[in-house]
């Protein structure tokens, strides 16, 4: 047995083997690299929205929001403790004009008893790029990867206030999600806070 294996390995390759191998390696290969982007998909009241993961720092449990004296403009909610520091807390819903759904949980509720899988529990999303701040959301789906060509234009028929802050619409499961324009959103928040 060892002799037959030795003879198989020691035999000369077929005459066209080197030419075929060289031609295969030298072939031009037109590869298309599909670039993907990622966004965190979350729910504000009844609206599903998405923000780029590049501007977000993390997601944490909803906590108590402490109001600030003489600062009541609807967008600025106050400050909230997050991972050992006080962060500015803003209402993305107020900025976007997303209305509260009757019977929905309160905006600042930190607990959602009866949920076994964590779905529907409120969270705080921490914005990281350009300074930390947080905003409460009603539910976080998680990270959704998509290709740039999947992003569709916002239909002209939409009359929601959030459309001016929308970069495009993403297909997600059986619905369309508004992919928010990160720069525009956080510029508007910075103007409110100044």
Contact between 98 and 52 (Cβ < 8 Å) = no
What is each CA distance from 54 to 73, 129, 168, 176, in whole angstroms? 28, 8, 17, 21
pLDDT in tens, 36-76: 899 999 999 888 999 999 999 889 888 889 988 877 778 88
Ordered by start, the domain boundaries in the chain are 36-193
d(CA 84, CA 194): 24
What's the DSSP call for residue 75?
Answer: S
Q: Distance between CA 123 and CA 142 in Å, rounded?
A: 11
Quick one: tokens of 116?
Answer: 């076994």
**What are 150-181's pLDDT values in tens digits?**
888 887 666 555 578 888 999 998 889 999 99
Separation of alpha carbons 190 and 194, rounded Å: 6
Classify 36-193 by CATH class.
mainly beta
Contacts of 154 (CB under 8 A, 6+ apart): 163, 166, 168, 169, 178
Does pTM surpass 0.95?
Answer: no
Neighbours of 140 (CB within 10 A): 18
Model pLDDT, residue 157: 62
């Amino acid at each position: 047995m060892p002799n037959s294996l030795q003879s198989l390995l020691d035999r000369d390759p077929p005459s066209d083997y080197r030419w075929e191998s060289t031609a295969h390696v030298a072939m031009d290969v037109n590869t298309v690299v599909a670039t993907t982007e990622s966004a965190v998909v979350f729910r504000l009241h009844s609206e599903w929205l998405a923000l780029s993961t590049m501007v977000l720092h993390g997601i944490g449990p909803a906590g108590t929001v402490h109001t600030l004296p003489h600062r009541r403009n609807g967008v600025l909610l106050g400050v909230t403790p997050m991972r050992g520091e006080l962060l500015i807390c803003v209402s993305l819903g107020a900025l976007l004009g997303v209305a509260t759904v009757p019977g929905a949980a309160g905006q600042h509720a930190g607990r959602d008893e009866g949920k076994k899988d964590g779905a529907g529990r409120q969270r705080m999303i921490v914005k990281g790029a350009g300074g930390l701040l947080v905003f409460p959301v009603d539910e976080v789906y998680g990270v959704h990867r998509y290709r740039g060509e999947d992003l569709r234009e916002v239909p002209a028929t939409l009359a929601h206030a959030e459309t001016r802050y929308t970069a495009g619409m993403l297909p997600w499961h059986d619905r369309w999600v508004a992919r928010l324009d990160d720069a525009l959103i956080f510029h508007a928040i910075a103007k409110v806070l100044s």
